[in-house]
Amino acid sequence: MSYNGWKNKETWLVQLWMGDMFQDMANEGYYDGMDIDDIAERLEASVVDYTDDTVQEQSGLIADFINMCLAEIDFRELARHLEIEEKVEETA
- pLDDT tens-digit profile of 5-49? 999 999 999 999 999 999 999 999 999 999 999 999 999 999 988
Residue 3, phi then psi, degrees to nearest 5: -145, 115
Tell whether the model's pLDDT for residue 92 goes beyond 60.
no
Contact 2, 66 (CB under 8 A): no
Mean pLDDT, all residues of the chain: 86
Query: Can you say whether residue 18 is alpha, beta or left, with left for phi > 0 and alpha for psi between -120 and 50 degrees?
Result: alpha
Find the mean pLDDT for residues 71-87.
85
Predicted local distance difference test score (pLDDT) of residue 53 = 67
